[in-house]
Chains A and B, each alone.
Chain A
């Protein structure tokens, strides 16, 4: 019954000094709102990242040529070539999909329209590894690749850039650096991956590209598609073995290629997001502590203002403990109310932010519970001293206080 009275008294005291209570709680409100919004944005970003990784479908490793050093001296790039990809494809141990590619910019012409487009030499399997879907027509076949046929598949935005439509350009001839190619398919829109936009690119069979367009068998990279349950380290070891053998690298020699694990990259990105979120949330948390000092200040004022009330309560039999409890409850309640308002505002900010950016709205409950608990603890910590002062007041002196 005493606790009930303390809560009632705290509520009426906070209500009675409405404006003052609000201003006091403002730092708590802003702090909590900031913590909630930042954690929410971080979590939503992570959710979006997870979704985009799931979009990638099977896991992909990418092999790039890299510098080779001999005795500490760089001896230039040792290229990855089509034969390397063929060697990899011969290995069936991992059920992997080997997708070699080369690319370069060339002038593209259709009727009177020109564009500078990135031409990619692909195998049919490359589309599968990258998870591209076909919008119109068809993809090229292995036979067309081996026959070095002049066929081409366009990214979804290419017809537009050539001032035509997918339907109109299908089965027509376009010119790549003066040679004509038959458009056999148009991809559906894939969207930018952040570092590449497949919608702007053009795709020809790898051997066609090697022989007719780029005149080289040097590859830009080799993607290796593996299923999600594969042991990545083991796959990487196998790739290393095959390529080192192909490139005649003896024991102790450095690799002249490097293997990227994209999911590792996104792990890193996720880690970075996490660290960033924690940092900002920490800074916002400091504003909660600053808010706590404000609460302490106003509680000290409140104790002074209510000296006579405290004297009276003691005359009626209040112990030091019950006076202390009353003021601590008031401080904690003030902070919890501030925290609740802050959570509301922070969630609103997150909602606005995510809808503006077309993100998934995601707010972890633990962040809400955590930040309200933290504000309550701030109230507890900074309420103790003023409450102690109230409890220690001399009743006889307090009753005389004007």
Chain B
């Protein structure tokens, strides 16, 4: 089991009142799964991803990643987990505008402290995996939306993470390029990559092998095929 959470609760203090973004999530994820998380806006999907992606900490509850409790890790240890174990893909790509595709992909390796020649080889490999090796010197402004998202996927993959998180990765793309991006995810999953993907679209969710629906910070349904 890669991920195991018990009774995860996340509360935000918003002025005088507390907003309960997660009200008690029990979730287990096995290696190699391809999961879609669905649910209405504000139901807590991004909050859940941030917590299991170690970007945020729960108010209550336990979370084990690869069998290890995450709750009592230091900032630096969490940064190290994000660097080595987790890859993020965001709706708005989040590429560094002034850097080339290759430099963007290389960034996690820099934080990992890899040496330069190895970093170059692995970054080029990752770009190759998403079919963009011929665009490595281009900056984001010189790439289409779909290409930018593929660079972001290459960046998420470059450190060979245990889990790939994608928060509405096709949300800013048309259906054709969205399909291309989904094909990359399916390809990666068929090679054993664990993927957790947040989406609003049924057509996207259907392509995964487990659909979790969240409502008001609780898991409403969890369907595997």
Query: B99: which A residues are within 8 A, CB to CB?
Result: 12
Q: Does A312 contact B (CB under 8 A)?
A: yes
**In residues 1-22 of chain A, which contact B (Cβ within 8 Å)?**
1-2, 5, 9, 12, 16
B85, closest chain A residue (CB): A317
Binary flags per residue of A288-315, CB closer than 8 Å to B gives 1, else 0: 0000000000000000000011001111
Q: Does A245 contact B (CB under 8 A)?
A: no
Query: B115: which A residues are within 8 A, CB to CB?
Result: 1
Q: Which of A79-87, A233-241, A318-326 contacts B (4 or more CB under 8 A)?
A: A318-326
Shortest CB-to-CB span from A229 to chain B, Å, is 63
Q: Does A97 contact B (CB under 8 A)?
A: no
Q: Are B98 and A316 in contact (CB under 8 A)?
A: no
CA of A394 to CA of B75 in the docked complex: distance in angstroms?
11
A13, closest chain B residue (CB): B98
Q: Are A399 and B119 in contact (CB under 8 A)?
A: no
CA of A312 to CA of B79 in the docked complex: distance in angstroms?
12
Q: Does A280 contact B (CB under 8 A)?
A: no
Q: Are B79 and A319 in contact (CB under 8 A)?
A: yes
Binary flags per residue of B90-132, CB closer than 8 Å to A gives 1, else 0: 1000101011000100011111111110010000000000000
Q: Does A395 contact B (CB under 8 A)?
A: yes
Q: Are B111 and A12 in contact (CB under 8 A)?
A: no
Q: Are B55 and A318 in contact (CB under 8 A)?
A: no
Contact A314 to B55, CB < 8 A, known contacts A5-B107, A12-B98, A319-B79: yes
Q: Are B82 and A317 in contact (CB under 8 A)?
A: yes
Shortest CB-to-CB span from A153 to chain B, Å, is 78
B155, closest chain A residue (CB): A316
Q: Are A317 and B112 in contact (CB under 8 A)?
A: yes
Q: Does A177 contact B (CB under 8 A)?
A: no
Q: Are A1 and B98 in contact (CB under 8 A)?
A: no
Contact A308 to B94, CB < 8 A, known contacts A1-B110, A317-B84, A319-B111: yes
Query: B155: which A residues are within 8 A, CB to CB?
Result: 316
Shortest CB-to-CB span from B57 to chain A, Å, is 9
Q: Are B111 and A2 in contact (CB under 8 A)?
A: yes
CA of A396 to CA of B90 in the docked complex: distance in angstroms?
12
Interface centre among A2, A315, A316, A318 (most CB of B within 10 A): A316
Query: B80: which A residues are within 8 A, CB to CB?
Result: 317, 319
Q: Are B108 and A316 in contact (CB under 8 A)?
A: yes
CA of A321 to CA of B113 in the docked complex: distance in angstroms?
13
Q: Are B98 and A396 in contact (CB under 8 A)?
A: no
Q: Are B55 and A319 in contact (CB under 8 A)?
A: no
Interface centre among B107, B113, B119 (most CB of A within 10 A): B107
Binary flags per residue of A3-44, CB closer than 8 Å to B gives 1, else 0: 001000100100010000000000000000000000000000
Q: Does B213 contact A (CB under 8 A)?
A: no
Q: Which of B75, B98, B103, B108 contacts A319 (CB 8 A)?
A: B75
CA of A322 to CA of B113 in the docked complex: distance in angstroms?
11
Q: Are A399 and B111 in contact (CB under 8 A)?
A: no
Q: Are A315 and B113 in contact (CB under 8 A)?
A: no
Q: Does B50 contact A (CB under 8 A)?
A: yes
**In residues 170-204 of chain B, which contact A (Cβ within 8 Å)?**
none
Q: Are B79 and A314 in contact (CB under 8 A)?
A: yes
CA of A9 to CA of B56 in the docked complex: distance in angstroms?
26
Query: B75: which A residues are within 8 A, CB to CB?
Result: 319-320
Q: Are B111 and A395 in contact (CB under 8 A)?
A: no
CA of A318 to CA of B112 in the docked complex: distance in angstroms?
9
Interface centre among B76, B90, B94, B109 (most CB of A within 10 A): B94
**In residues 51-102 of chain B, which contact A (Cβ within 8 Å)?**
53, 55-56, 75-76, 79-80, 82-84, 88, 90, 94, 96, 98-99
CA of A236 to CA of B218 in the docked complex: distance in angstroms?
101
Q: Which of B79, B83, B88, B110 contacts A5 (CB 8 A)?
A: B110
CA of A312 to CA of B113 in the docked complex: distance in angstroms?
17
**In residues 222-269 of chain A, which contact B (Cβ within 8 Å)?**
none
Shortest CB-to-CB span from A81 to chain B, Å, is 87
Q: Which of B83, B84, B94, B159 contacts A312 (CB 8 A)?
A: B94
Query: A321: which B residues are within 8 A, CB to CB?
Result: 76
Q: List 5 A-B contacts (CB under 8 A).
A: A1-B113, A2-B110, A313-B111, A316-B155, A320-B79
Extra inter-chain contacts (15) besides given A396-B55, A399-B94, A400-B46, CB under 8 Å:
A1-B116, A2-B111, A309-B96, A312-B90, A312-B96, A314-B55, A314-B79, A315-B53, A315-B55, A316-B88, A316-B107, A317-B111, A318-B111, A320-B75, A322-B111
Return the 8 tightest CB-CB contacts between A and B, nearest first: A317-B83, A396-B56, A317-B111, A396-B50, A319-B79, A396-B55, A312-B94, A316-B108
